[in-house]
Structures are given as C-alpha cells and as structure tokens.
Amino acid sequence: MFNETKSITLAFTGASGACYGLRLLRYLLLANYKVYLLISSAARVVLESEHNLKLSNKTQITKQAFSKYLNCSLENLEIFGKNDWFSVVASGSGAPKKMVICPCSVGSVAAIAYGMSENLIERAADVIIKEQGQLLLVVRETPFSTLHLKNMHKLSKMGITIMPASPGFYHQPQSIEDLIDFIVARILDHFGIQQRLLTCWGE
C-alpha cells in the first residue's frame, strides 16, 4: 500500500541528459516510492541515442527494458503514454502532490508556463500547479535565451523549483556517475527523500 506522501510523478522529456532521469527513477524506486512515469516521444529518441535503450509502445515490454537497465524491482512503477488521459496523474482528485520533470526541455518549460496541456506531461504539470503541489523542473539547455529565462522566471514566481542540470564540483567527483548523482541528490533533498549520494555541505 502507498499513501499520498510516498507517490510521485516523474516525466522524461526530449532534452539531452536522460542519465539524470534514469538515475532518479532508480533511486525513487529504491526509496519505495510509487512512481508514475511519463515519457514523451522525443524522450524515447533521446533514451535510444544516449543509452541504446529502445522502448516499446507496450508497457510490459518497456518495463522489462527498464528492469534490465536499472537493475532494480519495478513493482512500484506505472508507465503512461502521452495520451493516457484517464491516468491518475491527469486529475487533481488522484494525482500525487509531487512531480519532477527530469530532464526538462525548454519547450516543455514554455508549454507549462502557458498552461498548454496538449499532452499528458503538460497536463500532469498543470494539475500539480492548480492543486498547489510541488513541481520541480530539471532544465537541460545551454545557453539560455532571454525567452527561456522569462519562462523560467514566470514559473519560479509561481513557486515552481527550477533546477538546471549543472552539477557542482566541491565534492571532488571522480566519474560522470558522481556528477549525475550530485543532481539526483539535490532533487531528492528538495522532496525530503532521504539519500546517501551526497553529504550536506560542511559534513
């Protein structure tokens, strides 16, 4: 059984940096969270090009691919397509109060900023906003244009956390995985999820 505080919506969009989303998914599942995973069409292309992870349109086959890649149980994972309008995340009456888009494209930022809701990811984000839940966007783009910054500023003023995928180096990373874990740890910290990937500053 899962209660509201142990469930979260995670979305992958088409920005580069699928490694962040995959790592985050693994640690959310290891933390015994119920994860509702949304994957955009562009994200599927990125997952294949960056990780040779080709996903099927059939949920069970996709879960099998994730299980092999992540090396953890997916019992607590539910995957929805972009047009699954009857999924739990599409309505404020049942959606989790926490959502993270990782990685988040600047196109998704713009759509969310203007309430477009043309696919399930955008609708799920809109639900979180209207229900005054916690939304975190791990934006992956460089450089940012003035338009990108304006859209992020608009969302930030609404209480949405903007967390660019820009890892720090004060923990003296020894590998790419260390850099990825830096961002994942910061995400988990913001949601109050216990993690051992990164020690607190000063420890």
Residues in CB range of 29: below 8 A, 6 or more apart? 35, 70, 72, 73, 74, 76, 77
Residue in 149, 157, 83, 159 with CA at minimum distance from that of residue 121? 83
196 carries a ligand binding annotation: no
Is 16 among the annotated ligand-binding positions?
A: yes
- Is 186 one of the annotated binding-site residues? yes
Asked whether residue 40 is marked as a ligand-binding residue, the answer is yes
Burial bucket for residue 82 (CB in 10 Å: 0-12, 13-18, 19+) = middle
β strands within the chain, DSSP E:
7-12, 34-39, 77-80, 98-104, 134-139, 161-162
Order of strands, sheet of 34-39, starting from the edge strand that comes earlier in the sequence: 77-80, 34-39, 7-12, 98-104, 134-139, 161-162
**Was 67 annotated as part of a binding site?**
no
14 marked among binding-site residues = yes
Distance CA 96, CA 131 (A): 10
Residue 170 among known ligand-binding residues:
yes
Tell me if 123 is assigned to a ligand binding site: no
As annotated, the binding site includes 14-16, 40, 105-108, 140, 170, 186
As annotated, the binding site for FMN includes 14-16, 40, 105-108, 140
As annotated, the binding site for dimethylallyl phosphate includes 170, 186
